[in-house]
Structure 1
Amino acid sequence: MRASELLAGAAALLASGVSAEAYLGFNSGNTLPSREAKFKKDWVQEFTTAQNLKNSPGVFNAVRLYTNIQAYSQTSEPIEAFEAAIETNTKILLGVWASGTNTIEPEIKALQNGIAKYGKKLTDLIIGASIGSEDLYRVSVTGIQNKSGVGAGPAELVKFISDWKKAFQGTAIANVPIGHVDTWDAWTNGTNKPVIDAVDWVGVDEYPYYENGKGNNIENSGYLFDRAYDAIEGAVGGKPIWVTETGWPYVGQTWDQAEATIKNQQYYWQEVGCRKLFGKVPTFWYNLRDSNPDNEMKFAITDNLSTTPHFDLTCPKTFKTTPKASSSSASATSAATGTGVSSPSSMESGSSGSGSSGSGSSGSASSGTASSSEPATVTAPAESAVATGSATSVKGVSAAAVAGMTLLVGVFAML
């Protein structure tokens, strides 16, 4: 084999072996349940609670925001979550609203203003940026049937991604990984492949609770989640998957076979969070605190930001969801038909306002998510949560990456 071929193979191996840190965080909108704007002190309280949860399986020191813009700002005022994150050393997944607008300039400007104000203290905390949230779901047949609001198509999202990269080219966050957040069956829809090609990672909102007609009782929740996750893996061509929303409500209506109880909330935490996600996949749980008063379903794992949650967060050593049972369920590909539900957050899509609140709204029937795009201003369109992490420094390097580096060294030695 020629040295050039070895080099190409090593580079491919290296690229595939470098992965994002398995971040642990929660979603957080920019308004309180009263619809009042959140300010620095509100986020400080959230971030402090998240990092000190009793019996937590890890430190939840990351946050997924829905916008860069302070709630109800008439200008591109940077969201005060930035300053709170700096004070509490909380990593930030940025969000950019992309539905119902022909520009993301207000979002870009707000982040630029934030960087100008806080500099390296802010940019070092940014782990990723998501351009759009559940926009593809909203323009899907299911999204339209569920009256989920104005969305955005693949061409629009690809343009916004390009606009973002141009705006931050040559800056401290130029290499931050860019993604897009959507319902799981949006990613398995072939017409959306241009978005997959344009991003560095794919963000998935998945809620088995809303999976009507698929046996969505709590005992089956782990299998339904695995089936959706497997379907995404088969569709995204090796792109890293970030689970940007998932959870189970403890209050709310019975959704087909799914019941909202604290007992079921704990079961889901264990069978999906502990077994499948925590420490393995970048995960932003839905949710630490409920924010949307219009959502009948309540997903918070704690009351009044107490560090003692509704249930014991300890992860068990064994699980009831088995790989064999998961694979024996209906095929993931055939299931990707959009009969699930949109996330509670997507129901609050940013209509008029540059801020999003990040509370869940009532689930619709899309791809099984709990939507959380919540804008609260009267100027720019609302922003959905994304990630901007300081991807300039890769924090996780797998064994495959090390092997790739070793191979590269050998290749150069032969040249």
Structure 2
Amino acid sequence: MIAPTLLSLALFFSCFEMSTAIGSLGINVASSDSTGTCRTTDSWNEALQKAASYFSTIKTYAVSDCDMLANIAPALNENTGVKVWMGIWEVDDAHYAAEKAALSTYLPTISKDSVAGFSVGSEALYRGDLTPSALADKINDIRSLISDISDKDGNSYSGTKVGTVDSWNLWVNGTNAPAIEASDYVMINAFPFWQYQTAANQSHSLVDDVMQALKSIQSIKGDDDFYVSIGETGAPTGGYALTTDQAPNTVDNAESLFQEGICTLLAYGIDVNMFELQDEPTKALATADDGTTSDVERHWGVYDTDYSLKYSLSCDY
């Protein structure tokens, strides 16, 4: 990581003029609930209702896993206030085929207005699942697929954004240009926790990482109006740390990152999708780049398992 400096933060802010248009807040939602059980339509209904209290969009990971799109479709028709970024898992051929089949089957049962866009892959470049060119091919393939699908009212999905999501440092790496060039939008994932940041530096780190990725993306796409947002960010409120001096995994620290980092991005008109809606106590351990494991992803919800909000999601501007 390049250490954040006052100069780098100034460069970030120079990319944006303060606008009356505050960025919108979204949230990542898993296809399974807090018990690890696949979400039913009732469970999706509850999740959408809880999300609607604070978020304008939800972001998902795989439309076929847990019959996600099949189960959320009826709920979306009842909860019209929240749009969905439809995640598409592309790693192996069988899974990718199941994703395309789910889109073809269930997109016609919902309104196009319920769909914010289609996210092909989630950190596929970071994990090395696909080359940039192979990811670009799948982005173009999904764009072609949806152009032949109409919603429940006969409106074509053609023109709905198709893009991808990856870690901030992968977007700084210019070798991933083909994926950016193929996309209608790009989302940036940035987590100070996984960079072992201290409490004092975590918000500076978040803003600096986003600035570096944004400048690189815009230099490749060559369009200041190209849609770039934050795909995942936030801080855990429990679990064990990776180092002794990094920010503590507490509710107070997560709230500090929200107020000082996420709200700064929102104030400059950048849309932010937080990670994640609800704690997942049964989730597998997560692994850092150096091989260190942690249970923190079980404690990353803005809601706990009983849907009690852990801290305020209103920015103190």
- Class of the TM-score when normalised by the shorter of the 2 chains: 0.7 to 0.9
Distance change (3 Å), C-alpha of 1:105 and 1:205: same
Distance change (3 Å), C-alpha of 1:198 and 1:44: same
> Larger Cα Rg: Structure 1 or Structure 2?
1
On the 8 A contact 2:61/2:87 being kept in 1, the answer is yes
On the 8 A contact 2:24/2:266 being kept in 1, the answer is no
On the 8 A contact 2:122/2:164 being kept in 1, the answer is yes
Q: What is the CA distance between 1:122 and its match in structure 2?
A: 2.6
For 1:174 and 1:104, locate their aligned partners in 2 and report how far apart those are by CA, in whole Å.
20
User: What are the equivalent positions in structure 2 for 1:132-151 lying under 5 Å apart?
Assistant: 132-139=121-128, 151=129
Identity among equivalent pairs (%): 23
On the 8 A contact 2:22/2:267 being kept in 1, the answer is no
Q: Which amino acid aligns with 2:214?
A: E
Q: What is the CA distance between 1:50 and its match in structure 2?
A: 2.0
Match of 2:64 among 61, 64, 69: 69
Q: What is the CA distance between 1:282 and its match in structure 2?
A: 2.3
2:103 aligned with 1:160: no
Distance change (3 Å), C-alpha of 1:170 and 1:22: farther
1:205 match: 189
Pairs aligned (count): 270
Where do 5+ consecutive residues of structure 1 fail to align? 1-19, 53-58, 140-150, 318-415
Q: What is the CA distance between 1:279 and its match in structure 2?
A: 7.9
Q: Which amino acid aligns with 1:233?
A: L
Distance change (3 Å), C-alpha of 1:281 and 1:86: farther
For 1:50 and 1:244, locate their aligned partners in 2 and report how far apart those are by CA, in whole Å.
16
For 1:222 and 1:101, locate their aligned partners in 2 and report how far apart those are by CA, in whole Å.
39
Q: What is the CA distance between 1:305 and its match in structure 2?
A: 4.5
Distance change (3 Å), C-alpha of 1:21 and 1:202: farther
What secondary structure is seen at the aligned counterpart in 1 of 2:201?
helix
What secondary structure is seen at the aligned counterpart in 2 of 1:219?
coil
On the 8 A contact 1:158/1:194 being kept in 2, the answer is yes
1:194 match: 178
For 1:101 and 1:228, locate their aligned partners in 2 and report how far apart those are by CA, in whole Å.
33
Q: Which amino acid aligns with 2:314?
A: T
Q: Which amino acid aligns with 2:162?
A: I
Q: Which amino acid aligns with 1:154?
A: P
The superposition leaves residues 294-313 of structure 1 with CA deviations (integer Å, 9 ceiling, x where unpaired) of 2411111222343x522233
User: What are the equivalent positions in structure 2 for 1:26-175 lying under 5 Å apart?
Assistant: 26-52=27-53, 59-71=54-66, 78-89=69-80, 90-101=82-93, 104-116=96-108, 118=109, 121-139=110-128, 151-171=129-149, 172-175=156-159
Q: What is the CA distance between 1:285 and its match in structure 2?
A: 0.8
Distance change (3 Å), C-alpha of 1:65 and 1:197: same
Distance change (3 Å), C-alpha of 1:125 and 1:97: same
On the 8 A contact 1:49/1:305 being kept in 2, the answer is no
The superposition leaves residues 181-229 of structure 1 with CA deviations (integer Å, 9 ceiling, x where unpaired) of 00001111121111111101111111011113xxx11221111011111
What secondary structure is seen at the aligned counterpart in 1 of 2:301?
coil
2:214 aligned with 1:233: yes
What secondary structure is seen at the aligned counterpart in 2 of 1:152?
coil
2:315 match: 315
The superposition leaves residues 45-72 of structure 1 with CA deviations (integer Å, 9 ceiling, x where unpaired) of 11112223xxxxxx4131101111151x
For 2:228 and 2:113, locate their aligned partners in 1 and report how far apart those are by CA, in whole Å.
22
Q: Which amino acid aligns with 2:147?
A: Q
User: What are the equivalent positions in structure 2 for 1:215-294 lying under 5 Å apart?
Assistant: 216-237=197-218, 238=224, 239-256=226-243, 257-277=246-266, 280-291=269-280, 292-294=282-284
For 1:245 and 1:79, locate their aligned partners in 2 and report how far apart those are by CA, in whole Å.
24
The superposition leaves residues 257-312 of structure 1 with CA deviations (integer Å, 9 ceiling, x where unpaired) of 22101110110111122222268222211112023522411111222343x52223
Distance change (3 Å), C-alpha of 1:61 and 1:86: farther
For 2:93 and 2:101, locate their aligned partners in 1 and report how far apart those are by CA, in whole Å.
15
For 1:137 and 1:235, locate their aligned partners in 2 and report how far apart those are by CA, in whole Å.
16
Q: What is the CA distance between 1:240 and its match in structure 2?
A: 2.2
Q: What is the CA distance between 1:173 and its match in structure 2?
A: 1.1
Moved more, 37-46 or 296-305: 296-305
What secondary structure is seen at the aligned counterpart in 1 of 2:106?
helix
Where do 5+ consecutive residues of structure 2 fail to align? 1-20, 150-155, 219-223, 286-294
Q: Which amino acid aligns with 1:246?
A: T
On the 8 A contact 1:67/1:79 being kept in 2, the answer is no
Distance change (3 Å), C-alpha of 1:244 and 1:305: farther
Distance change (3 Å), C-alpha of 1:83 and 1:70: farther
Q: Which amino acid aligns with 2:170?
A: A
1:370 match: none
On the 8 A contact 1:95/1:129 being kept in 2, the answer is yes
